[in-house]
Amino acid sequence: MSGRRHGLKNRFDRAASTSSENGDPPGSGAVADHVRDLLDKLQSDVPPEQIQRVLAAFLCGSKAHAGQTRLSGEPYITHPVAVASILADFHMDGDTIVAAILHDVLEDTDCTSDELEREFGPVVTKLVEGVTKLDQVRFASRQEANAESFRKMLLAMASDLRVILIKLADRLHNMRTLAAKDHASTRRIAMETLEIYAPIAQRLGMNLVKAELQDIGLRVLYPSRYRVIASCIRGVMGSRREAMRKIESAILQRLGDEGIPARIVSRIKSPWSIYVKMKTQHKSFKEVMDLFGFRIVTDTVPHCYQALGAVHALFKPMDGRFRDFIAIPKANGYQSLHTVLFGSFGAPIEIQIRTEEMDRVAERGIAAHWVYKTDGSQPNSAQARAHEWISGLASREATTDSAIEFIENVKVDLFPDEVYVFTPRGDILALPRNSTALDFAYAVHTDVGAHAVTARVDGQISSLRTCLQSGQNVEIVTAPSAQPKPEWLGFVVSGKARTAIRNYLKRLQHEDAVQFGHRMLDRELIIRSVSLDTIPTDALEGYLEEHHYQRLEALLADIALGQRMPGPVADHFAQLAGISAPGSVSPVSRETIAITGAERGVISFANCCLPVPGDTIFGYLSAGKGIVVHRLECPNAEELQRESERCLAIEWDRKVEGDYKVKLRIDVLNRPGVLATVAAALAETGTNIENVEYIERDFTASTLMFTIEVQNRIHLARVMRRVRHSAVVNAIHRDPF
């Protein structure tokens, strides 16, 4: 070590040794130990001038946190120094190390952003501010996440990925020191870690961090299960250690004979991986076969493929267990060849083959070679993909009104099991598990998804809801007249597709709501001999401002969605126009509103009676839902019509669109094949069957309940007539009847 660095180290030691004089309790020698450990790690990566900034950050942080302790009794400064040390293990740059040491000063001390910027510059200050925002993130569970805080996390990550790296290091050290916390806190933190932070680490390719977070989380949440699995692993390792050494020796010998330079690292599945496999696949520990594996690390990509051939020649590969993540990297930038071989002791062995650079990326992800280094090198694949992912999330965040909806979409990205498919040009797209052809269309471009009508999968015409498999070639057929439909939300899985479809439907709903609200308000105004044109502009604007509406359209939309009743609004407008409103208006005297069924953003159809075109109907204004259409003979009609101000006189337009659900109660003979006979009769009428269930059954007869889709009452009558003529049918009724 140079004399200059000796001097820096001595200054660290002096600062650490005086921490107790600043109010820290006995035991501050731990500070010096943490500092020396950090300094040793920085020697090879950080130039002396940056080490001086790290020293200054330590002195600043030590002074700011003076008198503060952790629950363990250690001086608080030991925590940020330990966080910086974790990041030093990943060879992060000086700004990141400095920000890590100072990451709690804005929230927990009197230090201000201005003071930080004066001493350490704007980059460090922005990093500390970003981490401070993340420190306010609290997740009760994956289902009840604090969605607004998660948005803050996204924006902080989007501005500088180093923010989330500091937060992950902070979380890792907190997990390592959970023993000082009470039982409830440790379980909450462990659950939060497993459900949010470990998946983020995985999505960013930081497998070392992910694995340790998962391991500690399992140990805290399920200590008994962890002990059992760990004990089983030790037992299996003890009995097969010699066989593993022989296999490793044989692989090394074969690679040497082939002239392939390589090092081999033996590995065994982590307790978390084993636990998840046992839980999801309902297997016992003995049934988890691929416990053991080797990682072959070589110098070049051609040698990776040569090594693959060498090990396949040495041991028999298992059919269907080869994956090429070099040619098709995972979404987080991970690259490797995976194959499973039959080992000499009867158990399968997983082999991973990769280059040194791929190995660094696999373990450290976006931190493997930091993009902010000033050596002019390009970001690695993990960084490029992380930036692409974050940019995609940011664009979705900007177009998503609901924070809850946004985080629901993000969950798909955090828990991926990718499907890799090809575009007609040969490009590869990574999609979440269970993605459909429509997800693929939106992944290509939002406009392609919006105008999709069908797909060609491996040259065969397929529906948009077809689930895709890795390796398939997919082409989307579009039409200018096509547009997103509400039912699409029932089968797309990707966040991008769901966000785009919902945004379109919301826009459509707003347009429909404004138009329908206008018709409803006009109908009430006509009764009062008023029109919107007769209301003074100043008076109208005053009303809108008083009720917190920026535009008249927002009021009209609220009327259609049942948030405001059109009658009282019309009364108020009549007063603004200088006309006394009538005391009461009979619903019968109001003009009937015709509906086409295309106003699905404003109108819904009641499940209690399932109206179809041709039925006599009325509308009920339900707050937040808009107009719910009921049949006049609905079992709930009498009760609903007691609230006359919420009831609307509506009728079907001459031109009606769409398909409508109907329930049919069918009494049949209890014979083999009766269900197929009735279903075939329905199919002959071109009717789509949505659901079928047995609701009663005895030795001689059964009752079936079919939910079908029809266009109108004429179509329904034709369906019922055809089914009634089936030899196995005793009676058929529309439900409720």
Alpha-carbon distance of 384 to 490, in angstroms, equals 32
Name the phi and psi angles at 624, rounded to 5. 90, -25
Mapped to the 3 state alphabet, what secondary structure does 288-307 carry?
CCCCEEEEEEECCHHHHHHH
**Residue 130 phi/psi, 5° resolution?**
-65, -45
Rounded Cα–Cα distance for residues 505 and 484 (Å): 8
Which is the catalytic residue, given 13, 37, 45, 108? 108
Report which of 150, 139, 177 is spatially closest to residue 495, judged by C-alpha positions.
Answer: 150
**Residue 107 designated active-site:** yes
- Tell me, letter by letter, the H, E, C secondary structure of 651-692: EECCCCCCCEEEEEEEEEECCCCHHHHHHHHHHHCCCEEEEE
The CA–CA distances, whole Å, from 578 to 196, 399, 427, 574 equal: 59, 43, 67, 6
3-state secondary structure of 343: coil
What tokens were used for 398? 């900007």
User: What is the spatial distance between Cα 123 and Cα 99, in angstroms, rounded to a whole number?
Assistant: 9
104 is catalytic: no
Sheet with 337-342, strands from edge to edge, namely 262-268, 292-298, 348-355, 337-342, 323-324
584-595 burial code (b ≥16 CB/10 A, e <16): ebeeeebeebeb
* Structural contact between residues 29 and 78, judged by C-beta atoms closer than 8 angstroms: no
Tokens of 533: 């044109």
List, in sequence order, the alpha helices (H) in 71-112: 78-89, 94-101, 105-108
Q: Which two tokens stand for residue 401?
A: 């009104």
- Do residues 494 and 412 touch, judged by C-beta distance below 8 A? yes
Residues with Cβ within 8 Å of 607's Cβ and at least 6 positions away in sequence, in order, are: none
Give the max Cα distance, the chain: 102
| Set 107, 290, 405, 553: catalytic member | 107
Q: How far apart are CA 500 and CA 193, in angstroms?
A: 30
- Rounded Cα–Cα distance for residues 260 and 300 (Å): 10
| Strands lying side by side in the sheet with 460-462 | 460-462, 452-457, 474-478
How many angstroms separate the CA atoms of 346 and 505, rounded? 56
Active site residues: 107-108
